[in-house]
Amino acid sequence: MARVALVTGGSRGIGAAISVALKAAGYTVAANYAGNDEAAAAFTKETGIATYKWNVGDYEASKAGIAKVEADLGPIEIVVANAGITRDAPFHKMTPEQWHQVIDTNLTGVFNTVHPVWPGMRERKFGRVVVISSINGQKGQFGQVNYAATKAGDLGIVKSLAQEGARAGITANAICPGYIATEMVMAVPEKVRESIIANIPAGRLGEPSEIARCVAFLVSDDAGFINGSTISANGAQFFS
């Protein structure tokens, strides 16, 4: 029986690429999404991957959504915590609302996604947790105090979960993408995009599929001894 993988934010952008890659690798995939019903329906129609709607920033909604996935597909053995938002502003202009929105989704959302499935992973003596962090969680970024804080915090979650889960056969790892050619990045003005690429030694943006391949490796049996690690996929833009 195929292992069940949950990908949060899994119907668009990097998350969609991860969902597709995991399905191609033989996993049964559930893609969570927050609000875009039209995009989720189109994604399911195109890929055959089931989509489930809930807000990862809400623990009870996450718990109920995860229960629905498991009722439909079976126990979740793989979690890819990919859901994330930005609410950018220079710190002196950042509002408490902008802070809390990002914290709730990008940081608390990881807790809300992993916590309900953690007991089952421990009981079955197997689990894979992959958190999609960011280059900006490693180096910081102007106008992203909230976002950078969450993505740095995600790395702390992974390192701690790795130590707690190792004896139960659970691994927890992070991926820090650099600038990836998602819909959001491609929508910025061309001159801004060119300035971003100018700072990437590889001379290009990354592709969502390149992040997806990192995930596919980390959740595989081949990666069973990799735990608490961070893969930096950024075209040599930053070394940690």
Note every long-range contact of 134-142, with CB atoms under 8 Å and residues 24 or more positions apart, other chains counting: 134/84, 134/176, 134/177, 135/176, 135/177, 135/178, 135/179, 135/232, 135/234, 135/237, 135/238, 137/176, 138/176, 138/230, 138/232, 138/238, 138/240, 139/238, 139/240, 142/90
End-to-end CA distance of the chain: 39
Q: What whole-number distance in Å separates Cα of residue 22 and Cα of residue 152? A: 26
- One of 27, 33, 147, 179 is an active-site residue; which one? 147
33 included as an active-site residue = no
Nearest CA to 175 among 235, 110, 131?
A: 131
- What is the pairing mode between strands 170-177 and 76-81? unpaired
CB 33 within 8 A of CB 81: no
- Residue type for 219, please? V
Ramachandran bin of 8, using left for φ above 0, alpha for ψ from -120 to 50, beta for the remaining angles:
beta
Residues paired with residue 233 on neighbouring β-strands, in sequence order: 177
Query: Which residues form the catalytic set?
Result: 147
